[in-house]
Amino acid sequence: MTDQQDGEKATNPMELYEKLAAQGDQVRTLKTAKADKDEIEAAVQLLLKLKVEYKQASGQDYKAGCPPSENSGGAYNGPAADGADDQDTVDPWNVSTTNAKGVDYDKLIVRFGSSKINQELVDRIGRVTGRRPHHFLRRGIFFSHRDMHQVLDAYEKHKSFYLYTGRGPSSEAMHVGHLIPFIFTKWLQDVFDIPLVIQLTDDEKYLWKDLSIEDCQRFAIENTRDIIACGFDVNKTFIFSDLEYMGSSPEFFRNVVKVQKHVTFNQVKGIFGFTDSDCIGKISFPATQAAPAFSNSFPEIFGSRKDTQCLIPCAIDQDPYFRMTRDVAPRIGYPKPALMHSTFFPALQGAQTKMSASDANSSIFLTDTPKQIKNKINKYAFSGGKDTVEEHRKYGGNTEVDVSYMYLTFFMEDDERLEKIRQDYASGTLLTGELKKILIETLQPIIAQHQERRKRVTDETVKQFMTPRPLNFKI
Ligand code: TRP
**Per-residue pLDDT, 15:** 76
Q: Please give the helix or strand (H or E) that residue 340 lies within, else none.
A: strand 338-342
Candidates 201, 206, 326, 356: which one to mutate for ligand 1, based on the most atoms within 8 Å of Cβ? 201
Identity of residue 348: L
Q: Which of helix, strand or coil describes residue 181?
A: helix
Q: Which of helix, strand or coil describes residue 382?
A: coil
**Per-residue pLDDT, 81:** 34
Give the nearest ligand 1 atom to 292 CA: 9
**pLDDT band per the 50, 70, 90 thresholds, residue 98:** confident
Please compute the mean of the pLDDT values over residues 74-91 and round it to a whole number. 51
Distance of alpha carbon 351 from alpha carbon 117, whole angstroms: 21
Nearest residue (CA) to ligand 1, atom 6: 166
**Per-residue pLDDT, 11:** 61
Q: Which of helix, strand or coil describes residue 438?
A: helix
Distance of alpha carbon 194 from alpha carbon 185, whole angstroms: 11
Sequence-distant (≥ 6) Cβ neighbours of residue 376 within 8 angstroms: 348, 361, 364, 368
The rounded Å distance from CA 305 to ligand 1 centre is: 24
Please compute the mean of the pLDDT values over residues 85-114 and round it to a whole number. 85
The rounded Å distance from CA 165 to ligand 1 centre is: 6
The rounded Å distance from CA 173 to ligand 1 centre is: 16
**pLDDT band per the 50, 70, 90 thresholds, residue 95:** confident
Nearest residue (CA) to ligand 1, atom 7: 166
**Per-residue pLDDT, 78:** 38
**pLDDT band per the 50, 70, 90 thresholds, residue 147:** very high
Distance of alpha carbon 259 from alpha carbon 304, whole angstroms: 18
**Per-residue pLDDT, 63:** 72
> What's the pLDDT tens digit per position in 398-408?
999 999 999 99
Q: Whole-model pTM?
A: 0.83
**Cβ–Cβ contacts within 10 Å for residue 416, how many?**
7
Q: Is the pLDDT of residue 297 over 90?
A: yes
The rounded Å distance from CA 348 to ligand 1 centre is: 23
Triad 130, 115, 17: Cα angle to 5°: 160
**Per-residue pLDDT, 384:** 97
> What's the pLDDT tens digit per position in 26-72?
877 787 787 877 787 778 778 777 777 777 677 666 777 666 765 44
The rounded Å distance from CA 47 to ligand 1 centre is: 39
Nearest residue (CA) to ligand 1, atom 1: 168
The rounded Å distance from CA 238 to ligand 1 centre is: 15
pLDDT above 90 as % of the chain: 75
In this structure, what is the dihedral angle of CA atoms 240, 241, 242, 247, given to the nearest 10 degrees?
-80
> What's the pLDDT tens digit per position in 369-401?
999 999 999 999 999 999 999 999 999 999 999
Q: Is the pLDDT of residue 5 over 90?
A: no
Nearest residue (CA) to ligand 1, atom 10: 166
**pLDDT band per the 50, 70, 90 thresholds, residue 285:** very high
The rounded Å distance from CA 55 to ligand 1 centre is: 27
Chain mean pLDDT for the chain: 90
Distance of alpha carbon 416 from alpha carbon 423, whole angstroms: 11
Candidates 146, 167, 256, 356: which one to mutate for ligand 1, based on the most atoms within 8 Å of Cβ? 167
**Per-residue pLDDT, 69:** 65
**Per-residue pLDDT, 2:** 35
The rounded Å distance from CA 241 to ligand 1 centre is: 12
Ligand 1 site, CB within 6 A:
92, 164-168, 199, 201, 204, 289, 312, 314, 318
Long-range contacts of 438-441 (CB under 8 A, 24+ apart): 438/404, 438/408, 438/412, 439/377, 439/381, 439/404, 439/407, 439/408, 439/411, 440/373, 440/374, 440/377, 440/378
Candidates 227, 259, 321, 341: which one to mutate for ligand 1, based on the most atoms within 8 Å of Cβ? 321
